[in-house]
A and B are shown apart, each in its own frame.
Chain A
């Protein structure tokens, strides 16, 4: 079981729990504003962009090759950017904080 905290553009802080699947699914299932996941979680649409808190980045790890390329579609990409459909939910990421990137 992992607790994951999302910070939305309205500075709302929402902590949810999950034990399987990917972080995008967890966010959508908890109606986290700004995480759309239009492609269903296959790294094709770049609508689940988050900034991983610096303290947690090591736990989450870097983006894969295609994911890193897809992130370049985004204007406000940072060194802590990830597409959260590519982050698996597991004990290893318990306690992480993710800021939703979408602004509108």
Chain B
């Protein structure tokens, strides 16, 4: 049935690659072609700011799938190819090199790109990097080894900035993190966890500087100076910019697909156009558990949505219904998050040790999310309790000597 059909995927990272293999596994017999402007065989992105950077690892140890498996599954990898336009009337995509490719089904896995804020002097700065792909890390490594003083300024105290700071510190750099808000991780977590991570970084020798809105970068010879609104300045051989992302919605927007914080899709991962699906970081999708639309930057969402799209494309009605989860590794700290805490009105901290605790977020009595620090048990049981809609005895939860398995009511 699908033997003469072509499925084109734009974007070959976690979502696109997992989709391609899932579609083949679902029995799609036609062509599957993955386009990506990145020339590297698709790789895991989360390690880039963590182990991959710290251990100076090779990308070949971090491939999503071995090179041979694409051929074995008859999946065409068109790397180093940028898609410049979609023609939905003729079901064709056009590449920036002028070539075109027809499709029967199109899947947008376009992801996001690092945002570079319009800071005065940023374009002239030396050795300035974002961290989103393997090329970025190559640039950082090269600059790091060439630098004598290894003074690094990280602009932005979010997960990427903090993980990068931790990895570079372990490599022997002098690192300062400049955060615009009054605490790091302000957008994504609570003051308690922000304070914990501030402490962890400071005790490892990384300077965490808050209320530092960067206004200008000046360059004298090879030396950058990062200047903040409060008049303070920081010399930097290398600058890492980690201030968030912009979703790659342009191709979708040009053909009139509904865009709303991301490319809007239904629970089958289909966009507002019937032959076009979208998956991963670029999508704005309905989350059944929280009964609202969300856009997630996560491996979990990329992989799970990819599988749902593949099933629906071969005609198996499948609804996306996954509980989000995330992780971050910094120094000897493993943070695992399950659920979305947005909208919580009370929380409980269960402290089992200095570097072992969990924060449980509730709306009334409904458990929304759990942040676990070096505490797999809280993460795992939190996942189970959220899925089951369990009611938690908060007094028992608070008591670190209680058995976590016995903290539910009824």
Contact = CB atoms under 8 A, between A and B. Distances in A.
B61 A21 contact: yes
Interface stretch (A4-12, A25-33, A94-102): A25-33
A65 interface: yes
Chain A interface bracket (under 10, 10 to 19, 20 to 34, 35 or more):
20 to 34
B41 to A, nearest CB: 12
Chain B interface bracket (under 10, 10 to 19, 20 to 34, 35 or more):
20 to 34
A38 B299 contact: yes
A58 B210 CA distance: 50
B380 A44 contact: no
A54 interface: no
Nearest to B328: A44
Contacts of B30: none
Contact of B66 (A28, A39, A65): A28
Given A38-B299, A42-B329, A73-B383, A66 B376 contact: yes
Contact of A39 (B46, B61, B375, B377): B46
A65 B379 CA distance: 13
B299 A72 contact: no
Contacts of B376: 43, 65-70
A39 B51 CA distance: 12
Contacts of A61: none
B62 interface: yes
Contact of B46 (A40, A43, A65, A73): A40
A44 B327 contact: yes
Interface string B24-48: 0000000000000000000010110
Contacts of B72: 31
Interface string A69-87: 1101100000000000000
Nearest to B44: A40
Given A39-B299, A39-B327, A66 B62 contact: no
Nearest to B65: A28
Given A31-B69, A31-B72, A66-B334, A40 B377 contact: no
Interface of A: 21, 25, 28-31, 36, 38-45, 65-70, 72-73
Interface of B: 14, 44, 46-47, 50-51, 61-63, 65-66, 68-69, 72, 299-300, 303, 327, 329, 334, 336, 374-377, 379-381, 383-384
Give 7 closest A-B pairs by Cβ, nearest first: A69-B376, A40-B44, A66-B376, A44-B327, A69-B377, A29-B66, A72-B380
Given A42-B327, A72-B380, A73-B384, 13 more contacts: A28-B63, A29-B66, A38-B299, A38-B300, A39-B46, A42-B51, A44-B327, A44-B336, A68-B376, A69-B379, A69-B380, A70-B376, A70-B379
